[in-house]
Amino acid sequence: MAASLSRALKLPGKKGSDLGEYDPLTQADSEDETEDDDLVLNYPRNGLNPAVADLRGEEELDEEEEELREGAGHEAGSGRGQGGAAEEKAARVRGAMRSAAFLLPLSCAALLVLLCAFLIPCPQGAPLHTQWERELGDTAGVTSPPIALWDVDGDGVEDILIGVTNISNNSQPMNAQNKELSVWALGGSGGQLLWRKPLREPLISVQCGLQTGNSDPLHSSACVLISSGHIIAINASTGWTLWTTAVKDVESHAVLLPDLQGDAFPDLLIATLPEDQVSDLALVLISGRSGALIGRPVNFNLTAQGKLIGPLLHVTQTGAYYVLFGLGKVEAVSLSFIFSRATGQKAASRVLLKEPSWERLRKSNSSSLIHISSVSELVEFLLSLVVGSCQRLRNLDGVSALNCSRSDWIVLSDSSRRLSVLRASDTLPVWSLGLAAIHTHPAVGHFNDDGVPDLLIHQSANGVRKVQIVDGAQGRSLWEAEFVCPRLAVEDSSVLTASGQSVFLFWAGDPLVQPQNVSKAAEPVLRKLFLLHPNYPTILLELSSTTDTILSAAVSYQAQQKDASYISVSSRPSASRSLGAQMLQTLGLRAAATDARILRLTDADKPSVFQLRKFFRHLAFRQ
């Protein structure tokens, strides 16, 4: 179109410097309404061409074309000069307004983000102290006060529930009249008292996690307090009593069962054992909703004279429920039998299942008991071969109970002092290991990467403590070392890390380079808490040392910080207390490991101190 118009008019692209640039297309797009402009714009549309111009004469056409070009050039130049400047100014104004409209909200949003991030402090809970201690009361002859760990206040940190004994008059001999018994709930972040509940009897155990049916997360869990004569369920957040049941001669912790009554609440089982009738062991079913007894106690005429074993719930591969218990022996009985004997009714369909491989172990059809352990050996303890706190703290939440109910078992025989792992599928031993002197339960964790939990055990004899990690799959020794005996009977611990490995914690004296007998230890005995990581088997971290007597210990977790704390209860001599003071201490593991004293057992592996500090500074723990 532009080329045709230029050829028809025979116009150059530029007129001159005094008239400005001239372009027929720009001229055609102009909004000028003058007659001359109309002539230029309509010229090609009227069909005029050089042939018609010849009829009118070359001279006349040239004159007219010259006049048209000059007139159109002057008009277009002046119109474009004024209109273009106005349009350019308006365009700049519109562009500035659009830029302002875009940048203003963006600047406000950025300012708000910076304000929230740096100027306005975010709401936070109580500060988490990596190390603190609190005096609880009198030692009062308590060897191992019951401890439970549960997030009571909902801050993501496990809090501590512990039985406390105080003597109201230290000048008088300790008796039932001047003993003040209670259970305390202490904040895991700093030891602050959350609530306190008086008791009438000493506690046997404290277990938390029982579901209450409340939709409020802070009030959805209950803790069960067990004494020799009563079972009390309390709100974990407030300490208020939910229900109380009187049961005589209670000797065990509570076992979480599936719902037996169809009320959508899990139920409980405990063992009772009268002092004057040691052979009359009974299992008692208790409603988890109301605390009422489910039927009557189920008695078992057991003649063995040994320690109370269990009770422990086991779920077979086919989903059948069995309860393991005994007196010096490990017996098993189906949960459906217990329920039918207690109530005279049949249990729910899922509880009615039985394991054929187990039922074949029954000695006779008339007996309800299945013998798990050897008849000739008395059993010292029975544990689940599973990593975690379910077997030590015995929390009553479904996850912990499920983890402990589907594993193999660890059995220690009393007479031969043989430690064995029994396979749950057929109750046959996987391996056995002879031990000289073991007095505490093993700590279960992952030392190697075969997926089978390993065991940390210690033996003490002749002033020497031998600490050993045993392969859970084969029973062979994976790691061992000897130390000066700390004269403690506290259980060892393991903590699972984010990588799937476990760190192991144990109390001992100074390491012994060469095997030797230590006839007499120095007074007072200095006890040291060591940490062992599988990645550095020749390195020990000394986390703390004390002359206090450690009574019990546990490990709590802080999920948000991916950290863990070592909690210990100790007895400390006190000038104001004739029996000594009972102290509760917590130690943050990541901070303690970062600043710990490093002990090298051999010179074979020499990672630098900087490498060790960096590794443990970034260590993450999980449940």
Q: What is the pLDDT of residues 503-538, one digit of tens each?
A: 999 999 999 876 655 555 556 689 999 999 999 999
Which of 159-173, 278-292, 555-569 is least confident?
159-173
Domain boundaries, the chain: 143-246, 249-435
The answer to whether residue 80 scores a pLDDT higher than 60 is no
Q: Is the peptide bond before 12 cis (omega within 30 degrees of 0)?
A: no
pLDDT in tens, 371-388: 887 657 788 889 999 997
Rounded Cα distance, 103 and 541, in Å: 56
Contacts of 73 (CB under 8 A, 6+ apart): 15, 19, 20, 22
Region for residue 264 given its phi and psi (left: phi exceeds 0; alpha: psi -120 to 50; beta: otherwise): left
- The structure's pTM equals 0.78
Give the per-residue pLDDT at 540: 96
Percent of the chain at pLDDT > 70 equals: 76
Q: What average pLDDT does range 43-71 have in this prediction?
A: 49
Q: What is the mean pLDDT of the chain?
A: 81
On whether the CB atoms of residues 326 and 346 are closer than 8 A, the answer is: no
Per-residue pLDDT at 607 exceeds 90 = no
Whether 32 shows a pLDDT value over 50: the answer reads no
d(CA 60, CA 54): 10
- The answer to whether the CB of 100 falls within 8 A of the CB of 108 is no
Helix, strand, or coil here: 387?
coil
SS3 label, residue 161? strand
Q: How confident is the model at residue 161, as a pLDDT? A: 94
State what percent of residues in the chain have pLDDT above 90: 43
CB-based contacts of 305, cutoff 8 Å, min separation 6: 278, 327, 328
User: By C-alpha distance, which of 448, 476, 474, 444 is closest to 457?
Assistant: 444
3-state secondary structure of 394: coil
- Summarised one tens digit per residue, pLDDT across range 411-441 is 888 766 789 999 998 888 999 998 878 878 9
Give the pairing of strands 597-600 and 429-434. unpaired
Q: pLDDT band for 46, please (50, 70, 90 cuts).
A: very low
pLDDT for 497 beyond 80: yes
Among 17-26, 180-189, 353-362, 499-508, the minimum mean pLDDT is found in 17-26
Flag the least confident range among 205-219, 230-244, 344-358, 489-503: 344-358
Higher pLDDT, 440 or 482: 482
Question: Partners of 418 in the beta sheet?
Answer: 434
- CB-based contact 589:566 (threshold 8 Å): yes
Residue 467 has pLDDT above 70, yes or no: yes
Mean pLDDT value across residues 561-585: 86
Per-residue pLDDT for 92 more than 70?
Answer: yes
**pLDDT for the residue numbered 83:** 62
Amino acid at 317: Q
- Whether 8 has a pLDDT exceeding 60, the answer reads no
Range with lowest mean pLDDT among 23-27, 414-418, 541-545, 568-572 = 23-27
Domain 143-246 bears CATH identifier 1.10.10.10:
no
